[in-house]
């Protein structure tokens, strides 16, 4: 299905497009942005960026300052919205459930199950639509994200290792089965059976050896107000030791959970991915 181009901007010598397309997985229109570096011929390696709670495709696109680095590295970036949206789509008044909080899983519980299929959306529809419409190299695809989207990047990379050559995260929810955000969302979307939750828990997947030998880069702000209760990078570190993953966890003193943290290290992440794509 074709994408509809909503806006285009020249930035750092490349082209940024905001697009909309119909997703089979969610049954709704979905939006994403895509940056294609300038001066390249043929397809380019690319990164999928998954955003955090409350975000749309716009937050990373306008606030991360990523395209200077992507242009230099010759890497494209695709940044989707964080959930299906619209009047016919279920929602919740809380910021951490429903629209803006898809958690990158396929919901099986009402009222979420008809549309909240964000895992299938990313790994099937988003990739297909982006690669059909833009000159992206599907053989050199990485994934990264922030907070809920850091959880998404890690779990999608671990659950679909053939799809993603490289993975990194900013302040990810390390173990959604062991924090309030994750317990609430996985309970709502997947139901009360906690065994099903474990399949979407990065720390548990890594501890079980699903990332054995795999490099993972994680930056975490030491001044992040969600660090202790929600993010728990120490669980990732313990899991990497147990499951043999090559985790590089960088604690960044005094940085918080905002895009000011992301913009400070996004250049490092893009260069790290580019060296592996």
Residue 239 sits at φ, ψ, to 5 deg, of -65, -40
Residues 37, 70 contacting (CB under 8 angstroms) = yes
End-to-end CA distance of the chain: 27
- Dihedral through CA 93, CA 96, CA 101, CA 104, nearest 10? -140
Is residue 60 near a copy of itself by the rule CB under 8 A? no
Task: Rank residues 49 and 112 by Cβ distance to a copy of itself and give the closer one.
Answer: 49
Rounded to the nearest angstrom, the gap between the alpha carbon of residue 12 and the centroid of all alpha carbons in its chain is: 23
Please tell me the number of Cα atoms within 13 Å of 173 on its side-chain side. 29
* Sole binder of a copy of itself in the list 264, 268, 271, 276 (CB under 8 A): 264
With CB under 8 A as the contact rule, which of the stretches 11-19, 20-28, 118-126, 172-180 interacts with a copy of itself? 11-19
Task: Rank residues 58 and 215 by Cβ distance to a copy of itself and give the closer one.
Answer: 58
Q: Is 172 helix (H, G, I), strand (E, B) or coil?
A: coil
* Sole binder of a copy of itself in the list 258, 268, 271, 276 (CB under 8 A): 258
Q: What's the min distance (Å) between Cβ of 73 and a copy of itself?
A: 15
Residue 27 sits at φ, ψ, to 5 deg, of 70, 15
Is residue 74 near a copy of itself by the rule CB under 8 A? no
Task: Rank residues 11 and 249 by Cβ distance to a copy of itself and give the closer one.
Answer: 11
Q: Which helix or strand (DSSP H or E) is residue 153 part of?
A: helix 148-159
Is residue 68 near a copy of itself by the rule CB under 8 A? yes
* Sole binder of a copy of itself in the list 198, 263, 268, 271 (CB under 8 A): 263
d(CA 187, CA 105) in angstroms, rounded, equals 11
Is residue 18 near a copy of itself by the rule CB under 8 A? no
What is the set of active-site residues? 147, 224, 257
Query: What is the contact surface with a copy of itself in residues (CB under 8 A)?
Result: 9-13, 16, 62-63, 65, 67-68, 221, 223, 254-256, 258-261, 263-264, 267
């Amino acid at each position: 299905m074709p994408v509809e181009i909503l806006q285009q901007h020249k930035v750092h010598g490349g082209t940024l497009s905001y697009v909309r397309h119909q997703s089979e997985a969610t049954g709704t229109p979905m939006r994403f942005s895509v940056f294609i570096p300038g001066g390249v011929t043929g397809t380019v390696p690319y990164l999928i960026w998954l955003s955090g709670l409350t975000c749309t495709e716009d937050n990373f696109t306008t606030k991360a300052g990523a395209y200077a680095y992507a242009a230099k590295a010759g890497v494209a970036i695709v940044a989707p919205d964080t959930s299906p949206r619209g009047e016919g789509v279920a929602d919740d008044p809380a910021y951490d459930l429903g629209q803006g909080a898809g958690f990158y899983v396929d919901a099986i519980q009402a009222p979420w199950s008809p549309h909240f299929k964000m895992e299938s959306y990313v790994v099937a529809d988003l990739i297909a639509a982006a690669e059909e419409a833009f000159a992206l190299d599907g053989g050199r695809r990485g994934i990264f994200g922030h907070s809920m989207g850091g959880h998404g990047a890690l779990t999608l990379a671990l659950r679909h290792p053939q799809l993603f050559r490289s993975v990194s995260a900013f302040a990810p929810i390390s173990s959604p089965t062991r924090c309030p955000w994750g317990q609430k969302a996985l309970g709502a979307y997947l139901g009360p059976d906690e065994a099903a939750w474990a399949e979407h828990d990065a720390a548990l997947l890594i501890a079980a050896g699903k990332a054995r030998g795999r490099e993972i880069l994680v930056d975490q702000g030491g001044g992040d107000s969600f660090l202790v209760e929600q993010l728990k990078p120490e669980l990732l570190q313990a899991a990497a030791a147990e499951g043999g993953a090559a985790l590089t966890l960088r604690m960044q003193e005094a940085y918080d959970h905002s895009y000011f943290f992301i913009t400070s290290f996004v250049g490092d992440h893009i260069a790290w991915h580019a060296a592996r794509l």
